[in-house]
Amino acid sequence: MPDLILPIPLSDRRLRERGYNQSQLIGEALARRRQCRLCVRRLVRLRDTGQQARLSLAERRGNLRGAFAVMQPVQGLRIALLDDVMTSGTTLFEAAATLRRAGAQEVQAWIVARTPD
């Protein structure tokens, strides 16, 4: 069981356009059901990276490099990183790497759906 559930954050622009973060909404339900803490401000997206789906795999990696930051301590914590849909996994990998560099003990990827290869 993780110590925290962290939804993949949207950029400020994307959040304003959409009006909600679907990963956060899913996380709220999961956190209640699993009796686990959901933290929506611990991991933030520093910049708008645009839609990844329109980029090649190499472009996706470059586009997301340095896009996330940890705003509150994660040292020694087990974290479930939650995303609604995983395509190439680049967003999850970059967010997980950011959390590991900040000292997270374990990072699990929880996804609702996976696009076909």
Query: pTM for this one?
Result: 0.91
**Each residue of 76-97: pLDDT tens digit?**
999 999 999 998 899 999 999 9
Q: Distance between CA 55 and CA 99 in Å, rounded? A: 24
Sign of CA dihedral 22, 49, 42, 13: negative
* CA-to-CA dists, residue 85 to 22, 55, 79, 88, 114, angstroms: 10, 16, 18, 10, 6
Q: How many domains does the chain have?
A: 1
What pLDDT is stored for residue 115 in this prediction?
86
Closest CA to 8 of 85, 100, 87: 85
What pLDDT is stored for residue 56 in this prediction?
79
Look-up of token digits 């925290």:
4
What pLDDT is stored for residue 63 in this prediction?
81
**Each residue of 37-63: pLDDT tens digit?**
999 999 999 998 877 777 777 888 888
Q: What residues does 107 pair with on adjacent strands?
A: 79
What pLDDT is stored for residue 92 in this prediction?
95
| Domain ranges, residue 43 | 4-114
CATH number, residue 58: 3.40.50
3-state secondary structure of 23: helix
Task: Indicate the average pLDDT of the chain.
Answer: 93
The stretch 90-112 carries a mean pLDDT of 97
Could you tell me what percent of the chain has a pLDDT over 70?
A: 99
Closest CA to 4 of 70, 86, 67: 70
